[in-house]
């Protein structure tokens, strides 16, 4: 269970998150909302980029906000960003090792973890390709491999389907659904592709201007008039 309790973030006078509470029990859960709603801010708090003015994050009873960011990684937190964090001058394999070599595993175990993650994401065939030479989908898959490597407990994906074709989005969705089975990790997904969210997320939190406007089973949430209103006339680029 991922529990957000009363999370509040302010940037000067702007309330980016206004006392957000939600308990995600599903293997894959979603966070949606219009641009500027507070979705990435929520992930920034969970990962330790930002300290909230108030609130708590509990994952299976662990109080994540008391752990410094590097300990959160060792604990099993992984995330992807709206812009992938792939080093251009490293190969796919080296990009994987950059994660697993920092987990205090033995060298052999680190390599085995990196290998398994590459296989899972289907990037083993391009292991020697440099980051700079990867296309958008290959970058996204490499990013996903980085997230599943080394025994994650919680993986957060920030707009993983952004810029992908429907076919690529379908394949990415299939992989995300298999994360729990291969790693045991729970997944939180932000995306503007509501069809993807509907397909892969059992529960969804909807934010708008830093406020929770809906939370619950995804189908119910998407049917909520407040959610439909928040999306009306909004550019989801
Ligand atoms: N470091 C920061 N300093 C000041 N304001 C910020 C900062 N980070 C985010 N904000 C503001 O907080 C609000 C929420 O931003 P956030 O990035 O969480 O939105 P989002 O839901 O991820 O939107 P998008 O769909 O565009 O990625 C926005 O008004 C944004 O401008
Ligand atoms: Mg964002």
Same domain, 60 and 107: no
Same domain, 107 and 9: no
Please list the alpha-helical segments (H only) found in the chain: 39-47, 69-75, 92-100, 107-121, 136-148, 166-183, 194-200, 218-222, 225-231
Task: Give pLDDT tens digits for 109-151.
Answer: 999 999 999 999 999 999 999 999 999 999 999 999 999 999 9
Per-residue pLDDT averaged across 191-207, rounded? 96
Q: Which ligand is nearest to the CA of 46?
A: 1
Domain that holds residue 92: 83-151
Same domain, 57 and 29: yes
Per-residue pLDDT averaged across 21-25, rounded? 97
State how far the Cα of 235 lies from the Cα of 152, in Å rounded to an integer.
34
Gap from CA of 224 to ligand 1 centroid (Å): 24
Number of domains making up the chain? 2
Query: Which residues lie with the beta carbon below 6 Å from any ligand 1 atom?
Result: 11, 14, 16, 33, 35-41
Q: Looking at per-residue confidence, does 101 or 177 come out higher?
A: 177
Same domain, 223 and 106: no
Q: Which ligand is nearest to the CA of 37?
A: 1
Q: Which two tokens stand for residue 234?
A: 């909004």
Write the residue with the smallest CA distance to atom 28 of ligand 1: 36
Task: Give pLDDT tens digits for 162-192.
Answer: 999 999 999 999 999 999 999 999 999 999 9
Same domain, 211 and 163: yes
Same domain, 123 and 13: no
Contact 120, 150 (CB under 8 A): no
Gap from CA of 44 to ligand 2 centroid (Å): 10
Residue 237 has pLDDT above 80, yes or no: no
Same domain, 64 and 166: yes
Angle (deg, nearest 10), helices 107-121 and 92-100 = 130
Residue 73 has pLDDT above 80, yes or no: yes
Q: How confident is the model at residue 205 (pLDDT cuts 50, 70, 90)?
A: very high
Same domain, 135 and 46: no
Write the residue with the smallest CA distance to atom 27 of ligand 1: 35
Contact 32, 198 (CB under 8 A): no
Distance of CA 79 to the CA centre of its chain: 5
Same domain, 11 and 55: yes
What pTM, to 2 d.p., does this model score? 0.94
Q: What are phi and psi of 5, to 5 degrees?
A: -125, 110
* Residue that terminates a domain, selected from 123, 151, 179: 151
Same domain, 98 and 36: no
Output the pLDDT for position 234.
Answer: 54
Which residues lie closer than 8 Å to 106 by C-beta, 6 or more apart? none
In the chain, count H helices and then E strands. Answer: 9, 10
Q: How confident is the model at residue 233 (pLDDT cuts 50, 70, 90)?
A: low
């Amino acid at each position: 269970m991922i529990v957000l309790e009363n999370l509040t973030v302010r940037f000067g006078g702007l309330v980016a998150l206004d006392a957000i509470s939600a308990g995600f029990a599903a293997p894959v859960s979603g966070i949606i909302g219009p641009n500027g709603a507070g979705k990435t801010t929520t992930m920034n708090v969970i990962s330790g980029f930002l300290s909230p003015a108030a609130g708590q994050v509990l994952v299976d009873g662990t109080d994540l906000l008391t752990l410094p960011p590097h300990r959160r990684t060792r604990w099993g937190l992984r995330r992807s960003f709206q812009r992938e964090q792939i080093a251009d001058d490293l190969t796919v394999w080296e990009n994987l090792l950059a994660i697993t070599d920092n987990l205090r595993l033995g060298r052999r175990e680190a390599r085995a973890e990196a290998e398994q993650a590459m296989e899972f994401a289907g990037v083993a065939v391009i292991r020697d390709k440099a980051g700079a030479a990867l296309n958008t989908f290959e970058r996204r898959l490499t990013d996903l491999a980085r997230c599943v490597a080394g025994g994650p407990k919680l993986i957060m994906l920030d707009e993983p389907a952004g810029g992908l074709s429907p076919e690529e989005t379908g394949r990415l969705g299939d992989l995300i659904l298999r994360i729990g089975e291969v790693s045991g990790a729970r997944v939180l997904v932000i995306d503007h592709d509501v069809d993807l969210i509907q397909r892969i997320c059992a529960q969804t939190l909807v934010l708008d201007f830093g406020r929770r406007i809906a939370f619950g089973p995804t189908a119910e949430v998407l049917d909520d008039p407040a959610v439909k209103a928040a999306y009306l006339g909004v550019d989801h680029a």
